[in-house]
A and B are shown apart, each in its own frame.
Chain A
Amino acid sequence: MAKYVIIGASAAGISAVEAIREVDPVSTITVVSEEPCPSYSRPMISDLVSGKANFEKMLCRDGQFWEKNNVQALTGQRAVSLNLKEKYVVLDNGARVSFEKLLIATGGKPFVPKIEGADKKGVFTFTKLSDAESLAAEIEKAKSAVVVGGGLIGVSLTEALVKRGLKVTIVELQNKILSLILDATASDMVANVMERAGVTIVTGQSVQRILGKPEDERVVGGVVLTNGNSVQCDMVIIAIGVVPRAELVSGTDVKTNRGILVDRFMRTSVPDVYASGDVAEAYDFISGENRLLPLWPLAQLEGRVAGYNMAGKKAEYPGGTAMSALKYFGIPIISIGLVNPKNAEGYEILTRYEPEKRLYKKIVLKDDVIVGILLLNDIERAGVLFNLMKNSVNVKKFKQALLSENFGLATLPSSLRKRLYLE
């Protein structure tokens, strides 16, 4: 019988361990983790493929994390079912682990649409260490790749493959890449840079069929797009995105939408059962609703909030919102909140666009409060803007200065500066 059981040992799971140990140094913690390796930075799997990082660099906590935090770690083991009435978890080896408090931090799994030929050798998904390792092992032999999905994961992988000398075609169903986090101007700027790096970008298309090689049907040789065009390649990587791994709670009383629904304390609808990270749908402070936001910083924050509450220290989740920082292809980008409102009515949009400097900045306001921030290349003051956004500060008096080169704390009216920054 463990006081605390945590399923999943990534951003959310390990952050929960740290929070529990801050409050409760002694009670037993058991962590069940399907991946056998120590916890690593998932976003860094692209750097593993490019050769920029080795596994040691990817470790996201000090070695000995389990020992230091006195955790019973059941690594390489999968939870297969839950009995929430009698409060135990069943593992793939049949063992039962009883809990007083349970955290489900099972993250996401790759979304894979049905594509004919997806069982051929040379088709990969890309969300975990073992994916990156098997991909890296095949790269030596490959000359070209098709990446399906022009979102954050697809773009990060594309950069890694380009660095390894592959000819990459990226296929995106929307009419622009990074469509969830950029507007048309920013997306075009990134697409230009990628094309100059030799990437072929195909938008408004998806892969309909994966072809074999003439000499061996079982090995990837190309793809056919929805428009009938075909592209030759030696590997296909499906990087469309992730969907919550919420299957453990199906058939239980835990309420789900697309992910597991949690309140501001990371509690699910069943007492003593918590959820955090990519598997959960938590509060978004911009939309005011619960929403899937599969992001590392939010998984860590949610995990911490869950850990505190599980250990009896009340902690309220302030809420998250879409927030991405990108480093790929040499253009630093920060995108926060609503950067591209579908219906522009009711929003005020400030922009500054200097293509010769590859500079683009955009701020979206609603009733003089920042609700969206998009910065390309000049990103260092992003956090100050984000702080105004989080605190719903009315920026009417100084909005002209928000996009200026020397915007910073000194730009803020002194009364506001004192309120936000001096306790």
Chain B
Amino acid sequence: MKRIVAKEEFCIGCGLCEVYCTVQHSKSKDVIKAYNRENPRPLGRVRLEVNKPVSFAVQCRHCEDAPCVTACLSGAMKKDESTGLVIHDAEKCMGCWTCIMVCPYGAIKMDASGKVVSKCDFCSGLDVPACVANCPNGALVLIEVKP
């Protein structure tokens, strides 16, 4: 199983991870359309945290023993046993914000509708998540972890 790790010593704070994440989760998958035309505006699921000179990207760590899954009021937040990923089912989500309360990384956002949450889905369908693939300085890397 793979996990994303942020290397803060390599992060240059450019914010491209947020841009590529947003585009990847847009309808059009096109940067201009995603940022200017889509309504609701697509939401990136990675957050660049900056406290100069420190910066790094934070996205869901797909925790082994995930607090958000244990807390979820509706069963929308689930651990996929085969991939080990923590997957959010927006159809089931009741938008109660309980998972936001317990995520130690602050990695869960309210989605643009304000009715459900949204978080890193490891770019389901891609081999390498968009933020990792497009970080220009190798500050986001994939590591292999034991299942």
Given A43-B74, A60-B74, A383-B101: 4 more A-B contacts, CB < 8 Å? A43-B96, A297-B102, A301-B71, A327-B96
Asked if residues A300 and B70 are in contact (CB atoms below 8 Å), the reply is yes
List 29 A–B pairs whose Cβ atoms lie within 8 Å, in order of A's numbering. A15-B70, A41-B74, A43-B96, A57-B91, A58-B74, A60-B73, A296-B73, A300-B71, A323-B102, A325-B97, A325-B101, A332-B97, A334-B97, A334-B101, A336-B101, A379-B101, A380-B106, A380-B110, A381-B106, A382-B101, A383-B67, A383-B101, A384-B104, A386-B102, A408-B49, A408-B106, A409-B58, A410-B56, A421-B104
Selected contact of A297 from candidates B71, B91, B107, CB within 8 Å: B71
Please give, as numbers and ranges, the residues of chain A lying within 8 Å of B113 by CB-CB distance.
none
Please give, as numbers and ranges, the residues of chain A lying within 8 Å of B100 by CB-CB distance.
325, 334, 379-380, 382-383
Chain A, Cβ-Cβ closest to B97: A325
Asked if residues A379 and B71 are in contact (CB atoms below 8 Å), the reply is no
Chain B, Cβ-Cβ closest to A375: B101
Q: Is A314 among interface residues, defined by CB-CB distance under 8 A?
A: no
| CA A411 to CA B54, docked complex, whole Å | 9
Please give, as numbers and ranges, the residues of chain A lying within 8 Å of B25 by CB-CB distance.
none
Selected contact of B70 from candidates A301, A379, A414, A421, CB within 8 Å: A301
Proximity string of chain B (86-129) to chain A, C-beta cutoff 8 Å, 1 when within and 0 when not: 00000110111110111111111110001000000000000000
Asked if residues B95 and A41 are in contact (CB atoms below 8 Å), the reply is no
Please give the distance in Å from A299's CB to the nearest CB on chain B: 10
A-B contact count (CB 8 A): 112
Q: Is A47 among interface residues, defined by CB-CB distance under 8 A?
A: yes
Q: Is A229 among interface residues, defined by CB-CB distance under 8 A?
A: no
Please give, as numbers and ranges, the residues of chain B lying within 8 Å of A416 by CB-CB distance.
none
Please give, as numbers and ranges, the residues of chain A lying within 8 Å of B96 by CB-CB distance.
43, 325-327
Q: Is A403 among interface residues, defined by CB-CB distance under 8 A?
A: no
Residues of chain B touching chain A, judged by Cβ–Cβ distance below 8 Å, are: 47, 49-51, 54-56, 58, 67, 70-75, 91-92, 94-98, 100-110, 114
Chain B, Cβ-Cβ closest to A303: B70
Q: Is A352 among interface residues, defined by CB-CB distance under 8 A?
A: no
**Contact (A409, B105) CB under 8 Å given A41-B75, A44-B73:** yes
Asked if residues B70 and A57 are in contact (CB atoms below 8 Å), the reply is no
Between B70, B74, B91, the greatest number of chain A beta carbons within 10 A of the residue's beta carbon is seen for B74
Please give the distance in Å from B59's CB to the nearest CB on chain A: 11
**Contact (A60, B75) CB under 8 Å given A325-B96, A386-B101, A410-B56:** yes
| CA A300 to CA B75, docked complex, whole Å | 11
Q: Is A304 among interface residues, defined by CB-CB distance under 8 A?
A: yes
Please give the distance in Å from B61's CB to the nearest CB on chain A: 9
Asked if residues A297 and B94 are in contact (CB atoms below 8 Å), the reply is no
Proximity string of chain A (386-423) to chain B, C-beta cutoff 8 Å, 1 when within and 0 when not: 11000000000000000000101111001000001100
Please give, as numbers and ranges, the residues of chain A lying within 8 Å of B109 by CB-CB distance.
380
Q: Is A53 among interface residues, defined by CB-CB distance under 8 A?
A: yes
**Contact (A414, B54) CB under 8 Å given A300-B70, A379-B100, A386-B104:** yes
Chain B, Cβ-Cβ closest to A15: B70
Asked if residues A383 and B102 are in contact (CB atoms below 8 Å), the reply is yes
Chain B, Cβ-Cβ closest to A398: B51
| CA A59 to CA B49, docked complex, whole Å | 36
Please give the distance in Å from A270's CB to the nearest CB on chain B: 27
Please give, as numbers and ranges, the residues of chain A lying within 8 Å of B102 by CB-CB distance.
297, 323, 383, 386
Proximity string of chain A (286-301) to chain B, C-beta cutoff 8 Å, 1 when within and 0 when not: 0000000000110011
**Contact (A43, B73) CB under 8 Å given A408-B47, A410-B55, A410-B56:** yes
Chain A, Cβ-Cβ closest to B58: A409
| Residues 26-63 of A contacting B (Cβ, < 8 Å) | 41, 43-44, 47, 52-53, 57-61
| Residues 54-81 of A contacting B (Cβ, < 8 Å) | 57-61
| CA A369 to CA B125, docked complex, whole Å | 43
Q: Give 5 closest A-B pairs by Cβ, nearest first.
A: A297-B71, A410-B49, A410-B51, A60-B75, A387-B104
Please give the distance in Å from B13's CB to the nearest CB on chain A: 10
Please give, as numbers and ranges, the residues of chain A lying within 8 Å of B67 by CB-CB distance.
383
| CA A323 to CA B102, docked complex, whole Å | 9
Please give, as numbers and ranges, the residues of chain B lying within 8 Å of A411 by CB-CB distance.
51
Please give the distance in Å from B17's CB to the nearest CB on chain A: 14
Please give, as numbers and ranges, the residues of chain A lying within 8 Å of B74 by CB-CB distance.
41, 43-44, 57-58, 60
Selected contact of B50 from candidates A381, A410, A414, CB within 8 Å: A410
Please give, as numbers and ranges, the residues of chain A lying within 8 Å of B70 by CB-CB distance.
15, 297, 300-301, 304
| CA A420 to CA B106, docked complex, whole Å | 13
Please give, as numbers and ranges, the residues of chain B lying within 8 Å of A387 by CB-CB distance.
104
Chain B, Cβ-Cβ closest to A11: B73
Proximity string of chain A (304-333) to chain B, C-beta cutoff 8 Å, 1 when within and 0 when not: 100000000000000000010111001010
Asked if residues A410 and B54 are in contact (CB atoms below 8 Å), the reply is yes
Chain A, Cβ-Cβ closest to B102: A383
Between B95, B97, B103, B107, the greatest number of chain A beta carbons within 10 A of the residue's beta carbon is seen for B97
Asked if residues A379 and B105 are in contact (CB atoms below 8 Å), the reply is no
| CA A65 to CA B96, docked complex, whole Å | 24
Between A41, A47, A421, the greatest number of chain B beta carbons within 10 A of the residue's beta carbon is seen for A41
| CA A322 to CA B29, docked complex, whole Å | 42
Please give the distance in Å from B71's CB to the nearest CB on chain A: 4
Between A300, A334, A380, A387, the greatest number of chain B beta carbons within 10 A of the residue's beta carbon is seen for A380
